[in-house]
Amino acid sequence: GVMVLLIIVAGLGVVTLLVILFAPHIRKYAAGGVCMSPARLDGKTVLITGANTGIGKETAQDLAMRGARVIMACRDVDKGEEAAASIRAAYPEAKVEVHELDLADTCSIRAFAQKFLREVNQLHILINNAGVMMCPYTKTIDGFEMHIGVNHLGHFLLTSLLIGLLKRSAPARIVVVSSLAHNFGWIRFHDLHSQGSYNSGLAYCQSKLANVLFAREFARRLKGTNVTVNSVHPGTVNSDLTRHSTLMTIFFTVFSTFLKTPREGAQTSIYCAVAEELHSISGKHFSDCAPAFVAPQGRNEETARRLWDVSCELLGIEWD
Ligand SMILES: NC(=O)c1ccc[n+]([C@@H]2O[C@H](COP(=O)([O-])OP(=O)(O)OC[C@H]3O[C@@H](n4cnc5c(N)ncnc54)[C@H](OP(=O)(O)O)[C@@H]3O)[C@@H](O)[C@H]2O)c1
């Protein structure tokens, strides 16, 4: 018994020592791809959802440093203003503005778009970044299950309201922040809102699969418009995303050395937004600033079309 314990302790000691010794290498590997493009965005307008924290905030800061006017769409304006202030502190010339947008409320989305279209006359880059993960069963104001409601349907409505402006501002790009989690999802058309049975992990995976399917179907519909749309897996990023799961929060804290920082997690969104070589690339999925694998269920055209139609129906919009 004592011998086994000693071996385990010694083993753990060796592993810890190795981790410490190789920490710089592990960090470099965990950081993943970096957007190397020096592209400037002077005179360009960018809209980022969920930009008050995590990946969205870092994306906002990077694009602002490239000279863009960045509109940070946040549900909590105070938190948004705090983030904008910290960006301005890091980069005093940053043109960042905070607008109120709650993706869990179609009235808020419509009000946001109305104000946006009145005040902003061009939109070159839209980054659908906001997201919720593994929250307890909740519904949006309109009665949609929270994951599919915010991560997919909210952004679907927002994009439909802004696509005219994007087309008029072309060349324009849309970046949909999805996840590797799409691999474990499937679209449950018979129970999209998980009323029959709810599993917070699966609901998240379903919504991230919906992101991939939306980007692919939308790219097909946007052919010839000079507006492109691609989806992204940012990597496993140490952000506030795990806030609803104690287990995942502990896991993310313990293994933080192996995870990306939000700045590292923002690289692929930034790459898809600015890289010169992607100017005509659409309907693709990226991770670590490179093309990435899409699960078979994310490549199914019939599912993509059906999801498009169901989304229009649920939101009461016509969009073709
Ligand atoms: N972190 C990862 O490992 C990881 C991996 C794969 C994919 N992703 C994706 O990356 C994206 C960004 O996530 P993150 O890691 O940066 O997480 P985060 O730090 O939790 O940021 C999420 C953002 O979304 C906002 N948001 C949530 N519900 C909203 C609503 N109803 N209306 C408007 N905004 C809302 C949050 O606002 P509040 O702060 O006010 O709540 C926050 O700004 C998400 O789409 C996520 O699915 C992340």
**Which tokens is 47 given?**
């809209």
Give the helix/strand (H/E) hosting 318.
none
| Ligand 1 touching residue 80 (CB < 6 A) | no
Ligand 1 binding pocket mutation candidate from 108, 151, 240 (most atoms within 8 A of CB):
240
Q: What is the pLDDT of residue 21?
A: 84
| Ligand 1 touching residue 102 (CB < 6 A) | yes
Amino acid at 165: L
Q: What is the DSSP string of 133-161?
A: -SPPS-B-TTS-BHIIIIIIIIHHHHHHH
Q: What is the pLDDT of residue 65?
A: 98
* Bridge partners, 190 (sequence order): none
Residue 128 · residue 155 · CB < 8 Å: yes
Q: What is the pLDDT of residue 200?
A: 97
Which atom of ligand 1 sits closest to the CA of residue 207? 47
- Helix, strand, or coil (residue 68): coil
Tokens 């995870």 correspond to what residue? Answer: 259
* Count of beta carbons in the 10 Å neighbourhood of residue 164: 11
CA of 50 relative to ligand 1 center, distance in Å: 6
Domain ranges, ordered by start, for the chain: 44-235+267-315
Which atom of ligand 1 sits closest to the CA of residue 49? 34
The angle subtended at Cα 271 by Cα 52 and Cα 184, nearest 5°, is: 75
Active site residues: 204
- Residue-wise pLDDT tens digits, 31-46: 899 999 999 999 999 9
| Ligand 1 touching residue 32 (CB < 6 A) | no
Q: What is the pLDDT of residue 28?
A: 82
Q: What is the pLDDT of residue 84?
A: 98
- Residue-wise pLDDT tens digits, 272-316: 999 999 999 999 999 999 999 999 999 999 999 999 999 999 999
Which atom of ligand 1 sits closest to the CA of residue 102? 32
Give domain 44-235+267-315's CATH superfamily: NAD(P)-binding Rossmann-like Domain (3.40.50.720)
Please report, in tens digits, the pLDDT of each residue of the chain (320 residues total). 899 999 999 999 998 888 888 887 888 888 899 999 999 999 999 999 999 999 999 999 999 999 999 999 999 999 999 999 999 999 999 999 999 999 999 999 999 999 999 999 999 999 999 999 999 999 999 999 999 999 999 999 999 999 999 999 999 999 999 999 999 999 999 999 999 999 999 999 999 999 999 999 999 999 999 999 999 999 999 999 999 999 999 999 988 888 999 999 999 999 999 999 999 999 999 999 999 999 999 999 999 999 999 999 999 999 88
Q: What is the pLDDT of residue 246?
A: 93
Tokens 């600033």 correspond to what residue? Answer: 289
CA of 60 relative to ligand 1 center, distance in Å: 13
Q: What is the pLDDT of residue 211?
A: 98
| Ligand 1 touching residue 239 (CB < 6 A) | yes
Kindly report the protein residue whose alpha carbon is nearest to atom 42 of ligand 1: 50
Amino acid at 151: N
CA of 37 relative to ligand 1 center, distance in Å: 25
Residue 195 backbone dihedrals phi, psi, to 5 degrees = -75, -30
Longest dimension (CA), the chain: 74
Amino acid at 223: K
d(CA 128, CA 238): 19
Which atom of ligand 1 sits closest to the CA of residue 51? 43
| Ligand 1 touching residue 157 (CB < 6 A) | no
CA of 260 relative to ligand 1 center, distance in Å: 15
Q: What is the pLDDT of residue 31?
A: 87
Q: What is the pLDDT of residue 19?
A: 81
Q: What is the pLDDT of residue 320?
A: 80
Cβ-in-10-Å burial (0-12, 13-18, 19+) of 1 comes to exposed
CA of 5 relative to ligand 1 center, distance in Å: 42
Cis peptide before 171 (omega within 30 of 0): yes
Give the chain's radius of gyration (CA, Å). Answer: 20
| Ligand 1 touching residue 50 (CB < 6 A) | yes
